[in-house]
Amino acid sequence: MERRRIGSLEVSVVGLGCNNFGWRIDKQATKAVVDAALDGGINFLDTADMYDTGKSEEFLADALRGRRNEVVLATKFGFSMGEGKSGASPAYVRQALDASLLRLGTDRIDLYQLHTPDPATPIADTLGALKDLVKAGKIREIGCSNFSADQLREAAGGFASVQNEYSLFHRAPEADVIPECKRSGVAFIPYFPLANGLLTGKYRKGQPLPENSRGKDAFGPTVFTDRNLDIVESLIRFSMLHGHSLLELGVSWLAAQDTVASVIAGARTPDQAKTNAAAAAWHLSKAELAEVDEIVMQAA
């Protein structure tokens, strides 16, 4: 699989999102997914301390036993882990990191990311603490998530990456965050690349939403609208004409964006992990990218 850079790190163009581990699948199923992802060429695994309050990190530690050195391991901190355990103060940065290292059973985090901005702590203070931990060998690179372009500029080049929502259906980063990434050399890591399931091909116009699917969640009525499902049908036709699936289009379109380092895709089964791993193989031409944009934008 193609590799790209996040600072000094070389990561697979498709990464494994680990937010399903713990609250959606158990330890045994987690190991099966991780093994399938690694065997499919994925080396970039992204989790967070708050995913099932640490369970994702714990399950990941077990799944990586004997294979830790095969992966680029990323986790995040900042959201609440209980009373007094949140934010990005220097003291909490050190506390959160040590807790993640313990749960993950490792001596270093390859990419340590501030999960959300902390308005109560100057970013310079947070970055100072993180850089000290880099010098101590506990962190290799520093990233952030859910940051605006202004917040990236305020960090003055302190982050190697930013992880924000981005997909064919969510183009907001193109207005300012992605231009800032190009200007400053920050790698962009998209999350929700399949637009909450819209780009999986499971949701079709005129068909009932599958049971136990994201379409049944609270946000379903705002995501699975007639307009969005019309776009999905057009994108499915486009993909089939080119011999690919809608999921492959969703991942490959993101991989075609020159600031994107790795497309984070979650999986609940080994088959999903294998499918995701292979999904970036479609190298879209400029003409194909323009046609996709026309399909999406003409319905706006």
Q: Is residue 219 scored above 80 in pLDDT?
A: no
What local confidence, expressed as pLDDT, does residue 218 receive? Answer: 46
Tell me if 233 is assigned to some domain. no
Number of domains in the chain: 1
What's the whole-number mean pLDDT along residues 20-40?
97
pLDDT at 186: 98
Q: Is residue 24 part of a domain?
A: yes
Instruction: Report yes or no on 236 lying in a domain.
Output: no
**In this predicted structure, what is the pLDDT of residue 155?**
96
Burial 199-216 (b: 16+ CB within 10 A, else e): bbbbbeeeeebeeeebbe
Give the H/E segment covering residue 230.
helix 226-241
Q: What is the pLDDT of residues 227-246, one digit of tens each?
A: 889 999 999 999 999 999 99
Q: Using a pLDDT cut of 90, give the percent of the chain over it.
A: 87
pTM of the model: 0.93
Q: How far apart are CA 253 and CA 247, in angstroms?
A: 10
> For all residues of the chain together, what is the average pLDDT?
94
- In 8-98 the beta strands, taken as DSSP E runs, fall at 9-12, 14-17, 44-46, 72-77
pLDDT band at 205; cut points 50, 70, 90 = confident
Is the pLDDT reported for residue 208 higher than 90?
no
Question: Does residue 25 lie within any of the structural domains?
Answer: yes
Tell me, yes or no, whether 204 lies in a domain.
Answer: no
Q: What is the arithmetic mean of pLDDT over 181-209?
A: 89
Active-site annotation, residues: 51
Percent of the chain residues past pLDDT 70, beyond the cut: 94
User: Which pLDDT score is estimated for 292?
Assistant: 97
Tell me the CATH number at 95. 3.20.20.100
Question: What confidence tens digit (pLDDT) does each residue in 98-119 have?
Answer: 999 999 999 999 999 999 999 9
Range of the domain at 275: 3-197+247-283
What pLDDT does 225 receive? 84
217 phi and psi, to 5 degrees? -70, 175
Does 189 fall in a domain?
yes
Distances (CA, A) of 9 to 5, 159, 289, 298: 5, 13, 28, 38
* Per-residue pLDDT at 210: 65
Nearest one of 145, 147, 113 to 130, comparing CA atoms? 113
Amino acid, single-letter form, for residue 263:
V
Is 239 a domain residue? no
Residue 137 falls inside a structural domain? yes
Which range is least confidently modeled, 58-67, 160-169, 200-209? 200-209
pLDDT of residue 58: 98
